[in-house]
A and B are shown apart, each in its own frame.
Chain A
Amino acid sequence: MPANTEQLIEVVVQIADDHLILGHRLSEWCGHAPMLEEDLSMPNMALDLVGQSRALYSYAAQLESKGHSEDDFAYLRKDREYTNCLLVERPNTDFAHTMLKQFYFAAFMHPFWQGVKNGTDNTLSGIAGKAEKEIGYHIRHAGEWIVRLGDGTDESAERMNDAIEALHPYTGELLEVDEARQSCIVSGAIPEIAPIQTQWNATINNVFTQAKLTVPEIDYPQQGGRAGNHTEDFGFLLTELQYMQRTYPGAQW
């Protein structure tokens, strides 16, 4: 049964927003990385993410057929209309927070894309084929850093633990299934969540064990992004992102 188009659009935009916002955050590092080699690696990942968001927004625009462009989606919605998960909008804080954020997200998206690739939606499946490879590298790159920071010096271990404490409560939202997602699962466009959760746990456990870090128990998970309820930092992110489009409405760039 094909998914309800409205709900498919909703899910595509959620995923697109995740990628845009995470890519945007990562791009904030450009020129300020801890070492020059990393100033090449982080933009590579950010370019993957923003690239994926473009493909997804274009697909959403096509499904919607109201003549919108990728940029209409990326730049011209109101804050409540962005439905990214809260994890991706969290500030960079430091290199430990940043790598952990990338890792959590990639560890979820990799099995997710694998499922989508074999799913029933041809366009999404095409996007997934490319994205799966890109995000596979993100797991590796961020994962290797987490191992080194967790098992490096006392300071780096402390910073990793701070990052886990700050960010782990946001990971539940990645695995959340709302009504729109459920409809896409039923249509076969996106995969069942349970096996993804298993793989996510395995990826996290594997790297945390190597890094001598502990996966915390979360009693009070944070969520709200999928409903457009964002953290305070998000407004500032949008202020920067949308500055040109808002200041010069209708201009071509």
Chain B
Amino acid sequence: MTDSSLMPLWEVFIRPRNGLNHKHVGSLHAADAKMAMQAARDVYTRREEGNSIWVVRASDIVASNPENSDENFDPAADKVYRHPSFYDIPDEVGHM
């Protein structure tokens, strides 16, 4: 089977309600964007899961390489001064 005979894969993102982010919910196959949108509606919103849909061609997503995970994400681990609990203030101040 050649690649051109494969139905493209799409990633589906749904916003459960206004005020929330779109969240990845799964994937599906469709020939083009309109069909992907309809399929997303039919597959992923059967139980009132959301009020807005994004579909993105899976091949258009650029992802970080897991081999670079250590250098990407570990350096943030010791920067404790970025967090409020790093700083001491008198209890009397109350919430700050």
> Which A residues are closer than 8 A to B by beta carbons?
35-38, 40-41, 44, 137, 140-141, 144, 148
Contact A37 B34 (CB under 8 A): no
A37 and B28 contacting across the interface, CB-CB below 8 Å: yes
Main secondary structure of the interface of A (DSSP, over half): helix
Residues of the B chain whose Cβ atoms lie less than 8 Å from the Cβ of A148 = 31, 35
Further 15 A-B residue pairs, CB within 8 A, beyond A37-B39, A37-B43, A144-B34: A36-B29, A37-B28, A37-B30, A37-B35, A40-B42, A40-B43, A40-B46, A41-B38, A41-B42, A137-B41, A141-B42, A144-B35, A144-B38, A148-B31, A148-B35
Chain A residues with Cβ below 8 Å from B41 are 137
B42 touches A37 (CB 8 A): yes
B42 touches A35 (CB 8 A): no
Contacts of A141 in B (CB 8 A): 38, 42
Kindly count the residue-residue contacts between A and B in the assembled complex, taking CB atoms under 8 Å apart: 29
- CA–CA, A137 and B38, complex, Å: 9
Scan B31-61; emit 1 where CB is below 8 A from any A CB, else 0.
Answer: 1001100110111001000000000000000
Find the A residue at minimum CB distance from B36.
Answer: A37
Nearest-neighbor residue (CB-CB) of A141 within chain B = B38
Which residue of chain B lies nearest to A42 when distances are taken between CB atoms in the complex?
B42
How close is B1's CB to chain A, nearest CB, in angstroms?
15
Closest to B7 in A: A35
CB within 8 A of A35: which of B29, B34, B38, B46?
Answer: B29
Q: How many Å lie between the Cα of A41 and that of B35 in the bound state? A: 11
